Chains A and B, each alone.
Chain A
Amino acid sequence: GNSVTQMEGPVTLSEEAFLTINCTYTATGYPSLFWYVQYPGEGLQLLLKATKADDKGSNKGFEATYRKETTSFHLEKGSVQVSDSAVYFCALTAYGNNRLAFGKGNQVVVIP
């Protein structure tokens, strides 16, 4: 089946630090990959996406590259702000299956 694995545990870092959140996937065929963000008390917002190998999704300073050879879609940001504190979810949909499957999410806390 299709599944997404995110690194365990919350991420706490200082303002202007470099952020990486790891995401790997298992899927049949060629999935589309997404990162969603959930700010405190809010719903999920699409942060970025990539639909084929080597595509790079980017938005608000965040980037992720679709790596088919390592089945990964790691999220990065070069300099985080306090306002980036949120829960980040990696997700995928696969061809012939329009079901969006989520990883467990990572709580990111940015300290001033």
Chain B
Amino acid sequence: DTAVSQTPKYLVTQMGNDKSIKCEQNLGHDTMYWYKQDSKKFLKIMFSYNNKELIINETVPNRFSPKSPDKAHLNLHINSLELGDSAVYFCASSQGDLGRASGYTFGSGTRLTVV
């Protein structure tokens, strides 16, 4: 079973559209994250939820809205997509303070291409 699964793996869409990326983890972790990886492979945290509560909200356009229906799921909705949103988006999870010492578990990524 995949520990952290994201769907879809690839997403090609036109500018101005609204799209969602879904993430689920079956590790029993209480904290989930969204990271963005740009074309130069740089990874930047976007959001983090702990037990369905938003705890990290970096400087991200408000067109990006995360939603966590339960602690096993963290979805990312993006409104009015722009060319600059093209990137690979990674979901990750960790277990509370243990995550600080044990690291995160990452999904395989969603490659978003805006045309």
Which A residues contact B (CB, under 8 angstroms)? 32, 34, 36, 38, 42-46, 49, 51, 87, 89, 91, 93-95, 97-102, 104-105, 107
Interface-central residue, B96, B103, B105, by most chain A CB under 10 Å: B103
Question: Is B45 touching A100 in the complex (CB atoms < 8 A)?
Answer: yes
- Give the dominant DSSP class at A's interface: strand
Question: Is B109 touching A43 in the complex (CB atoms < 8 A)?
Answer: yes
Which B residues contact A (CB, under 8 angstroms)? 31, 33, 40-43, 45, 48, 56, 90, 92, 94, 96-97, 99-109
Interface-central residue, A32, A43, A93, by most chain B CB under 10 Å: A43
Min Cβ gap A53→B in Å is 14
- Give the dominant DSSP class at B's interface: mixed
Given A44-B90, A44-B106, A98-B94, the answer on whether A104 and B40 have CB atoms closer than 8 Å is yes
Question: Is A102 touching B43 in the complex (CB atoms < 8 A)?
Answer: yes
Bound complex: CA A49 to CA B103 (Å): 8
Given A42-B108, A43-B109, A99-B56, the answer on whether A93 and B41 have CB atoms closer than 8 Å is no
